[in-house]
Structure 1
């Protein structure tokens, strides 16, 4: 971890569905005195509680705790320039890497600007899936690149794993990156001298980066025109072929109205979404280029 002067930067990476948004949500809920800018790939998935939001003006949210969340497109360089141009200086920056990107490359870009000091790269690893994912020749290069870039590896989904899966995950990681600190769980910052974020940090801004997917991955997007029960949506999601590596978005359910949908591996999760009213129902799926089951995905859109 770096200890040089400048605005401290922490990069959070990990493959699709590893739990990056969950980790950021934990940090977003913390209170503290530091001003922190958070650059994320999918602002909507953060699901900031409606009770936090006092007003909305365009793409800027004024939160009841005094923080500001900005939703913006553009590349990382432009986002970092906006951080530097902010009228009130920031103490820290947290960057969420895309699930198929190299967080090390993001860290190198931040290091190229003398105004920033990279504290480290945290990479989340789904311990229930990493062993099988590393055996997939089409996914391995992406995963190895992410793992090797980490200063800290965090095992996620440990509550869903047995001891054998956790041990297998550790045995898969050590040969790839023996220098990284390994932590289990996503609830707490690293417990060492140069923790990856200050425990009293207060989030003051959130910006959204434009999507950036590797050349070997493809994305699909659709707008469902139906309202179904949670159980009906779950059945449809579980019926999707395994070639859908990740799916997320917003749909309407009879129980909750607007509902956030996430599918990672074969686990589907739906929960009420109260942060804001989406412009329309939207689902976004990611899979390997040439292998994304578009016809099966289209069947999600209609009754």
Structure 2
């Protein structure tokens, strides 16, 4: 079991052993975890950073988007990092520990439906516990939508993600407005008294602040975490098609699906458009960002969709998206159930 003090480098040096510092980066679906991680990696200060990354759903889309810089990146298998692939999490850390040269810091980006307390339990109870120490647990919170979570089916998950953190990053703070930020800070303070809170507009934060060069957010010892065995209330699917999408119809359909689809993310192929387009949706917010040219890859669409079990009808969602494609040459679209 990791002693709370073991997350400090000074304690490791005093004990005469070298351990890998670990930072968890978590938060709800679409909060900005990958953006924050990319920011940390691209800042770079000479450290050899390693990454374990996983996204809920079949496709590791977030892994495809991470900036490839010096350091080692390991993608985990499909599923939720806090439950269905716990053994792979431990195996991934073991692989990094055995690499030459060894990494100097490990970042673990968790799934949007992961409970950081469960992940801490996994690490604490594994054979790795004497070879790693917990440097930080960062929970990214979408300042625009977070308060809505308190009155929803996923309120319990949101609260445990906040309570399990050492540091909170409030993303899209400017878009939320002063009054909403004040209410959100009060809500977070009720869940995690004395929390260290960083406000950001674009998901970026100083590397030195989050990766252990300061002690902000790490002054209070934490009690031993207790895992939550309850399953999360989410379902996921992957929609695929080789037919080009009609942009206007696709955007209308995604808006109409807002009551069923909380989060969507993937690369899509719009009709008469030469570039792959990264589409993202969280709640009512959505964006389309140009990617690269398809090149030798056949243009296609792969979209991960996530929603609450109570309203998530995979067949109806798939048919609605099928209807957005060109009517010429209709190959079957792929529908894949999530975990």
The interval holding the TM-score normalised by the smaller chain is 0.7 to 0.9
5+ residue gaps, structure 1: 53-62, 200-212
Residues 1:80 and 1:133: Cα distance change in structure 2 (over 3 Å): same
Identify, as 1 or 2, the structure richer in strand.
Answer: 1
How far off its partner does 1:279 sit?
A: 8.8
1:157-183 deviation line (CA, Å, top 9, x unaligned): 113211111111112111111132111
Q: How many angstroms does 1:243 deviate by?
A: 2.6
1:129 corresponds to: 145
* Unpaired segments ≥5 residues, structure 2: 13-18, 78-84, 214-229, 326-339
Any idea what SS the aligned residue of 2:205 has?
coil
Q: Distance in 2 between the 1:259 and 1:156 partners? A: 23
Q: Which of these two proteins has the greater Rg computed from alpha carbons?
A: 2
Output aligned runs, 1:276-287, within 5 Å.
280-287=300-307
Give SS of 1:242's match. coil
Structure 1 stretch displaced more, 33-42 or 6-15: 33-42
Q: Is the 8 A contact 2:48 2:70 kept in 1?
A: no
Q: How does 1:33-52 map to 2 (within 5 A)?
A: 33-42=46-55, 43-45=60-62, 48=65
| Aligned 8 A contact 2:264 2:303 in 1 | yes
Q: Secondary structure at the match of 1:101?
A: coil
Answer yes or no: is the 8 Å Cα contact 2:27–2:141 preserved in 1: yes
Residue pairs, 1:1-303, within 5 angstroms = 2-3=7-8, 4-5=11-12, 6-42=19-55, 43-45=60-62, 48=65, 66-73=70-77, 75-112=88-125, 113-136=129-152, 138-185=153-200, 186-189=203-206, 195-197=209-211, 214-228=231-245, 230-253=247-270, 254-274=272-292, 280-294=300-314, 295-302=316-323, 303=325
What is the root-mean-square deviation of aligned Cα atoms in Å? Answer: 2.7
**Could you state the TM-score of these two structures normalised by the residue count of structure 2?**
0.72
Across the two proteins, how many residue pairs are aligned to each other? Answer: 273
Where 1:300 maps in the other structure, the secondary structure is: helix
Larger displacement relative to structure 2 (167-176 or 291-300): 291-300
Question: Which has more helix, going by share of residues?
Answer: 2
Instruction: Measure how far apart 1:283 and its partner are.
Output: 1.1
Shift of residue 275, structure 1, vs aligned partner? 9.6
Distance in 1 of aligned mates of 2:20 and 2:89: 15
Structure 1 position 91, deviation (Å): 0.4
CA–CA distance in structure 2, aligned partners of residues 222 and 168 of structure 1: 37
Q: Could you say if the C-alpha distance between residues 68 and 248 of structure 1 is closer, same or farther in structure 2, counting changes exceeding 3 Å?
A: same
User: Per-residue deviation at 1:250?
Assistant: 1.4
